[in-house]
Amino acid sequence: MAGPRAPRVLLLIPARSYRAADFLLAAGRMGLDIVVGSDGALPLGGHPVIQVSPGDLQGSADRIMASSGPVSAVVAADAPMLALAAAVAARMGLPGNPAAAVAAAADKARQRRRWAATCVAQPAFRIVPADASEDGLRQAAAEVGFPCVVKAVSLSTSQGILRADDPAAAGVAARRVRRILATARRPPDEPLLVEEYVPGPELSIDGLLTAGDLVVTAIFDKPGAPGAPDGPTFEETLLTTPSRLPGPVLAAAVATAGRAARALGLTGGPIHAELRIDDRGDAARPVMLELAARSIGGLCSRVLRFPGGMSLEELVLASALGRPAPRNPARLRAARTSAVLMLPVPRPGVLRAVEGRADAAATPGITGLTITIPIGQRVQPLPEGDRYLGFIFAEGDTHEDAEKALGAARERLRIVIQSRS
């Protein structure tokens, strides 16, 4: 007699995603039946693929409805598919975040407005229309105070974010962000966000929402080199977990992230929140920077392992299927420190080689090294670029051990980039 049928999940994977392999591996470990929707030709292990386009929600949803068959859950593997996942889940009558909430989480201006309306702690900000004069931009920057941060509202991965220390620098930053938006083919009427620069330690919080309640899966410190990232660009490089921050500060940060998610209208699934701990004044205060309706990006989730060897992707899939998450998975992980170093692109050009990989991978404490940009591709540093060269992973008995291992491994790599002629 045949056993119970495996749950069937629609997994939406953008063509440019680090996450495809990890989500498919997680689904295989869980014994799930997977149907894939994608906008590119991906090595997806023989799973049926429905061609979709994140820019055509209606047409893509129609193709999925006609081709997918019954599924128990819809999961977006990465940010470009979040809106489509919300639309399809709604049409199928499956649990999922409202489309308006997903749209708000993808737009930094909408986030700021919703958080302001619900008194979520955040930097002072101004939203500057696309047709504003440079004088208007400088006025907005002066109102939030210097230093300030000029941001594209629609980009992620630290793309299109610059610090400005005076009115002239704010104007220069705005023009540069506008060029980045044009290259990314964003709408010409997209506003810019100008916000107060908040000093203090930076951290990220990953978790799963169930009926609006947040269960934390990981908290990462961003120690940088040295201290918190100060600009003028804000590429993330080093992440370590568990956090070194005091328990009361972390509890306040988690509570702030939960309020921020609910203020956007998010009710279920993964979130990735970015915060600063404002160290001005007598008491440290968590301040929201950004929040996404997805789990941590890149390959960073590979440093996380939960009870039974579960990956973060398995927890995300289980959550989508309505299975309860461990009560506090972040506390159930191993006590050792895990860390990841994201390798930034040092200069523009064509990537010709990454030498010394074997030596770097053999560094004591290193648990993995993956270069994610193929040799021969053009590369561009942040804030114009939107990708990292790769990821190095480490473990240690202490934060210092893991960070030292990552530094030693990075020193053994030689990145060869041919400058553009």
**What pLDDT does residue 336 have?**
82
Confidence of residue 327 (pLDDT cuts 50, 70, 90): low
Confidence of residue 42 (pLDDT cuts 50, 70, 90): low
Of the candidates 334, 353, 387, which is a domain's last residue? 334
Q: Is the pLDDT of residue 189 over 60?
A: yes
What CATH number should be reported for the domain holding residue 37?
3.40.50.20
In a domain, 118, yes or no: no
Residue 383 belongs to domain spanning: 335-421
**Are residues 352 and 310 located together in one domain of the fold?**
no
Nearest 10 degrees: Cα torsion 266, 268, 271, 275: 50
**Are residues 257 and 143 located together in one domain of the fold?**
no
**Are residues 311 and 339 located together in one domain of the fold?**
no
Confidence of residue 147 (pLDDT cuts 50, 70, 90): very high
Q: Tell me the CA distances in angstroms from 302 to 22, 49, 369, one per residue in order.
A: 8, 25, 11
The mean pLDDT value for 301-317 works out to 90
In a domain, 110, yes or no: no
**What pLDDT does residue 279 have?**
86
The mean pLDDT value for 13-20 works out to 87
CA-based max dimension of the chain? 75
The mean pLDDT value for 334-350 works out to 89
**Are residues 153 and 184 located together in one domain of the fold?**
yes
User: pTM of whole model > 0.95?
Assistant: no
**Are residues 325 and 340 located together in one domain of the fold?**
no
- What is the number of domains present in the chain? 4
Strand partners, 391: 342, 370
What CATH number should be reported for the domain holding residue 175?
3.30.1490.20
Q: How far apart are CA 87 and CA 389, in angstroms?
A: 33
In a domain, 367, yes or no: yes
**Are residues 305 and 394 located together in one domain of the fold?**
no
- In tens, the pLDDT along 168-185 reads 999 999 999 999 999 999
Of the candidates 133, 165, 196, which is a domain's last residue? 196
Q: Is the pLDDT of residue 334 over 60?
A: no
In a domain, 398, yes or no: yes
Residues 6+ apart with CB under 8 A from 3: none
Q: Is the pLDDT of residue 225 over 90?
A: no
**What pLDDT does residue 227 have?**
36
